[in-house]
Amino acid sequence: MGIIIAILLFSFIIIFHELGHFLLAKKNGIRVNEFSLGLGPTLIGKQFGETFFCIKLLPFGGACMMGEDDVDDLSPGSFNSKSVWARMSVIAGGPVFNLILAWIFCMILIGITGYTPTTVSEVLEGSSAQEQGIQPGDVLKEINGRSLHMWEDLNLYVMTHSGEAPYEVVYERDGEKYTVELEPKVLEEGQNPLLGVAAGETEKPGIFGSMQYGIYKVKYWIHYTVDSLRMLATGQAGIKDLSGPVGIVNVVNDVYETAAPEGGLVLFLSMLNFGTLLTANLGVFNLLPLPALDGGRLVFLIIEAVRRKRIPPEKEGMVHFAGFALLMVLMVVVMYNDIMRLF
């Protein structure tokens, strides 16, 4: 059952991504030739108007085919006949829709479970926080210049920037802001180093508050994804730490087996939380300025907008082809690692 839920969840996120491209294309009068879920040979499909909607064999990935690579087609309704700004909006539509979906998921999660504010409930004995005069009731506002809206923001920064201690922390007390430097310390043998501040109870912010903190939660997942990519680029994490479709299905199955005995609501919230990670990750990853990704295509369109002249299509095509080939190699390596983890 967990595998089925994983495929359905992943498929829904992919469809929402492609829907962003599709709706923006329609908004700009661009003809969409095919809207597909999955990869490989077509299993079923039906023509509606000018678009062929279909489901393909492999339930990973999807496509909204608009003829963007057919640079010679300048007929009315073709992708390349439209202005550079129209084309940019269509390409950006997919990742933006992923982030919108993440916001919807986060609003639901926070509306049901609440969030943990950055108010200190306890200061641990002998900690750096105690030495710097932080007291219960103080509200943590920033760490090394990054705003803190929820307690998870603090935990994430410390986890992904462990080599940057001591941290410059801004906190608020009675309307006044103070800045201190906190150094994680080992307070008890066998424990990890701690800043020495403890979180309080969760709060439910209401409907409008859920909308606001839903944005903060999306921001958290964006930081999570960007920090993870930074750790990968700097060697703090390796290729073996990446997961592809096989690994994602395996993780979702583990989440299902853990949450299912706790009841339907716990299972729903667990899947929603993991879905938030997936859709935010997909949105951010696709915006990276790498060839073959939406972000890579946006780079060429931005250059075109600045130069007011299109980069020769054959050169752009070669760059995207090379990027696609490298992504396929990376996918094979990641999938191999995923399969090896199963044994």
- How would you label 157-174 residue by residue, b for 16+ Cβ within 10 Å and e otherwise? bbebbeeebebebbbbee
User: Is 249 within 8 Å of 3 (Cβ atoms)?
Assistant: yes
DSSP characters over 306-339? HHTSPPPHHHHHHHHHHHHHHHHHHHHHHHHHHH
- Amino acid letter at 247? G
- Active-site residues, by number, are 18
CA–CA gap between residue 336 and residue 330 (Å, rounded): 10
Burial zone of 332 (CB within 10 Å; 0-12 exposed, 13-18 middle, 19+ buried): exposed
Residue 231 host element (H or E): helix 206-233
Q: Token pair for residue 229? A: 């990519």
User: Is 67 within 8 Å of 26 (Cβ atoms)?
Assistant: no
User: Is 196 within 8 Å of 127 (Cβ atoms)?
Assistant: yes
- Amino acid letter at 251? V
Dihedral (Cα; 98, 117, 183, 158), 10-degree rounding = -20
